[in-house]
Structure 1
Amino acid sequence: METVAKLKDLRKASKEDLVDFFKSIGEKPFRAKQIQEWLWKKSATSIDEMTNLSLNTRNKLKEEYTILPIATASQQISNDKTIKSAFKLHDQHLIEGVLIPTDDRMTACVSSQVGCSLSCTFCATGYMDRLRNLDASEIYDQVVAIRKQAEENYNAPLTNIVYMGMGEPLLNYKNVLESIDRITSPEGLNMSPKRITVSTAGIAKMITKLADDEVKFNLALSLHAANDEKRNTIMPINESNTLDVLSKALQYFYKKTGNRITFEYILFYNFNDSLKDAEELYRFWKKVPARINIIEYNPISEAQYTNTDPQTLEKFSTYLEQKGVNVNVRRSRGKDIDAACGQLANKG
């Protein structure tokens, strides 16, 4: 009997591969298009679901190919209705994805890697090893699963996707872009790329590559300090991707694409929350047209950082607003189930 290991992943097969396969078994080439429709438009997770193929054709397909969908291993619902899911991959690794419901949107937060290699000191995922990149289909599957949760639990469609889960998306560049192609294509889920945001800790050469590839989605930079010395302390990636280098890459990205850029800025108590820090952030903002999300910190057991106090947050955000910066103070969602920003570490 064939083992799964010897079978090819159907979702990695190109249309040309499938045309050749169908010709080899005496079938019409148009079957390849039917397969791709089942995979990416109807989100089929087994060959048996492909009922417009004859049983004989499906059996021949199963001799060569398999589908390796993710499976929901566990699910937790927060007091604020956020849903965190642990997804099991075909090789038994676990990743996490989150549905964040608000009054006007349903957002899927998806992972791009198993673990992470960047070691940001305030992030739970940063304390894990990076075991591997996710395939495009594994990212796509998270979106499909979370979309289903939105429909079944809240009777609402999925409106937004953020690549802000486990991992650094730009270190899994090819699969992340392929997953977005599948999600936004009319032959796929047909979502608008303007409703997708990819978040990076700041890989300058890959930001430049995004610009050269003329991507249509939005970009978010996890900034958290507009001072190299401070940023080096909490985000080691900054040592090789300094703020000056990043600002040039972001300027290039904006000039080439015109796509929206957001700076994510967590306020840590007595570290990056002073008016001097706000002034440094303003000076960095002046170089790159962006809006700023100020984020509440979600403490983790591995780190000693704490959230700033409400008065300091108010002073910080008011300073920026008075300078004409578009500032949004983002409250944490799903904190009670470790589903909030920076808390994903397969604990649930």
Structure 2
Amino acid sequence: MERNFEWQNKADIKSLTLSELTEQLVALGQPKFRGKQIYSWLHEKRVKSFDEMTNLSAALREDLSKRYYINQLSVIKKLVSKLDGTQKYLLRLKDNNCVEAVLMKYRYGNSICISTQVGCRMGCKFCASTLAGLVRSLEPSEMLDEIYTVTEESGQRVSNVVLMGIGEPFDNYDNVMKFLDILSSPEGYNLSLRHLSLSTCGLVDRIYELAEKKTGLTLSISLHAPNDEIRSQTMPINKRYPIDELLKACRYYFKTTGRRISFEYALIEGVNDEIRHANELADRLKGMSAHVNLIPVNPVKERGFKRGSRQRIEAFQKALEARGVNATVRRELGADINAACGQLRREYDQQRQEEEKQ
């Protein structure tokens, strides 16, 4: 495929916060109000070229096009579930890498799950996203454009955003924080961060940093084990940040923000899904304002993990609830289109590699 690398010699204007954009325009001799004008074109009207910014002079539009590029994503593949209408997108980035985004419909509105990196280096054993390692992190504009592209393609407004796709958000911390700033800006998409969830495998230092920002977002912790022995086998990050240290940071996050923590727990048959594991997990979470989201593990052929029966999953849930822990089993959406993150991108990359060999 032919690639256009013209963007490499220009600045990414859509990744600038309003204050950054205004400061740069003032330095170019433009009035201060110009920042809000252009910011609105980018994030409210979501134009794809400077020529569409009709309230700017032709000379300014030409100058902007020489200095900046307006990031865009293209849709490689779109799958729509016949079961529940879930839409899964494989999106091409400017350098021909690709990521996934999933649009899910709920009674309370539409939710989009987006990626924060191309690949992942966290190495969690049950996740397809990490099999080929980390390629690179996404820019703020690219995360925004996952939302902008899907809403344009689907014709539907998104009211909730989940950072739970490909990548570890805290491994791309600075860009994610800028993304949150732009996404929640009243002059932009204007999404309250109370409608955003960020999922992390447990980078403890970043949890403390996020707590101090008091953004209002929901923090989800990919816990997936009741003790260090099991978690270290399936999640390498646990060797750096053991469970006790992680939960200490979570308690601090709740104390500082008042926001309840959500714990993700992928149930793997014979590994972490026995009643004794549920009891041990309940002991760990005792006294915390927490919710446990039980996830029947998605089979990854390279790993060999299997999910237990429905009865086994329900028994685990009931064991937690009997110990006073709020627990639900995640509703599976898009089961007929492999809506779990990483699978579609991996299939596409493997196909592309085969074609390049021929």
Alignment partner, residue 35 of structure 2: 32
Equivalent position SS for 1:32: helix
Aligned AA for 1:266? A
Alignment partner, residue 112 of structure 2: 108
Matches of 1:346 and 1:298, distance apart in 2: 15
Displacement of 1:279? 0.5
Displacement of 1:56? 2.6
Distance 1:297 1:222, change over 3 A: same
Alignment partner, residue 63 of structure 1: 66
Q: How does 1:10-49 map to 2 (within 5 A)?
A: 10-13=13-16, 14=20, 15-21=22-28, 23=29, 27-49=30-52
Displacement of 1:336? 2.6
Aligned AA for 2:311? Q
Aligned AA for 1:47? F
Distance 1:56 1:68, change over 3 A: same
Displacement of 1:114? 0.6
Indicate if the aligned counterparts of 1:298 and 1:341 stay in contact, CA closer than 8 A.
no
Task: Find out whether 1:6 has 2:9 as its counterpart.
Answer: yes
Indicate if the aligned counterparts of 1:74 and 1:87 stay in contact, CA closer than 8 A.
yes
Displacement of 1:3? 4.0
Distance 1:306 1:162, change over 3 A: same
Indicate if the aligned counterparts of 1:128 and 1:345 stay in contact, CA closer than 8 A.
no
Matches of 1:99 and 1:12, distance apart in 2: 23
What are the ranges of 5 or more consecutive residues in structure 1 without an aligned counterpart? Answer: none
Displacement of 1:75? 1.0
Q: How does 1:103-252 map to 2 (within 5 A)?
A: 103-150=107-154, 152=155, 157-252=157-252
Displacement of 1:64? 1.8
Task: Find out whether 1:82 has 2:86 as its counterpart.
Answer: yes
Equivalent position SS for 1:194: helix
Matches of 1:219 and 1:286, distance apart in 2: 18
The root-mean-square deviation of aligned C-alpha atoms, in Å, is 1.8
Distance 1:260 1:43, change over 3 A: farther
Displacement of 1:57? 2.0
Matches of 1:342 and 1:9, distance apart in 2: 26
Indicate if the aligned counterparts of 1:108 and 1:147 stay in contact, CA closer than 8 A.
no
Matches of 2:280 and 2:48, distance apart in 1: 49
Equivalent position SS for 1:286: coil
Displacement of 1:342? 6.2
Cα shift readout 1:28-76 (whole Å, capped 9, x = no counterpart): 4422221112122222222122111122321122122221222222211
Equivalent position SS for 2:293: strand
Equivalent position SS for 1:131: strand
Aligned AA for 2:97? H
- The runs of at least 4 consecutive aligned structure 1 residues that moved more than 3 Å come to 341-346
Matches of 1:304 and 1:87, distance apart in 2: 28
Task: Find out whether 1:272 has 2:279 as its counterpart.
Answer: no
Indicate if the aligned counterparts of 1:251 and 1:287 stay in contact, CA closer than 8 A.
no
Alignment partner, residue 258 of structure 1: 258
What are the ranges of 5 or more consecutive residues in structure 2 without an aligned counterpart? Answer: 349-358
Matches of 2:230 and 2:281, distance apart in 1: 12
Distance 1:259 1:45, change over 3 A: farther
Cα shift readout 1:197-238 (whole Å, capped 9, x = no counterpart): 000011111111111222211100011101100001110111
Instruction: Report the identity percentage.
Output: 38
Distance 1:191 1:3, change over 3 A: closer
Distance 1:184 1:323, change over 3 A: same
Count of residue correspondences: 339
Displacement of 1:12? 4.0
Matches of 1:288 and 1:88, distance apart in 2: 41
Equivalent position SS for 1:264: strand
Distance 1:344 1:172, change over 3 A: farther
Aligned AA for 1:98? V
Indicate if the aligned counterparts of 1:202 and 1:222 stay in contact, CA closer than 8 A.
yes
Indicate if the aligned counterparts of 1:117 and 1:129 stay in contact, CA closer than 8 A.
yes
Cα shift readout 1:104-146 (whole Å, capped 9, x = no counterpart): 3311000000100011111000102211110111111111223
Indicate if the aligned counterparts of 2:12 and 2:70 stay in contact, CA closer than 8 A.
yes
Indicate if the aligned counterparts of 2:116 and 2:163 stay in contact, CA closer than 8 A.
yes
Aligned AA for 2:171? L
Equivalent position SS for 1:232: helix
Equivalent position SS for 1:266: strand
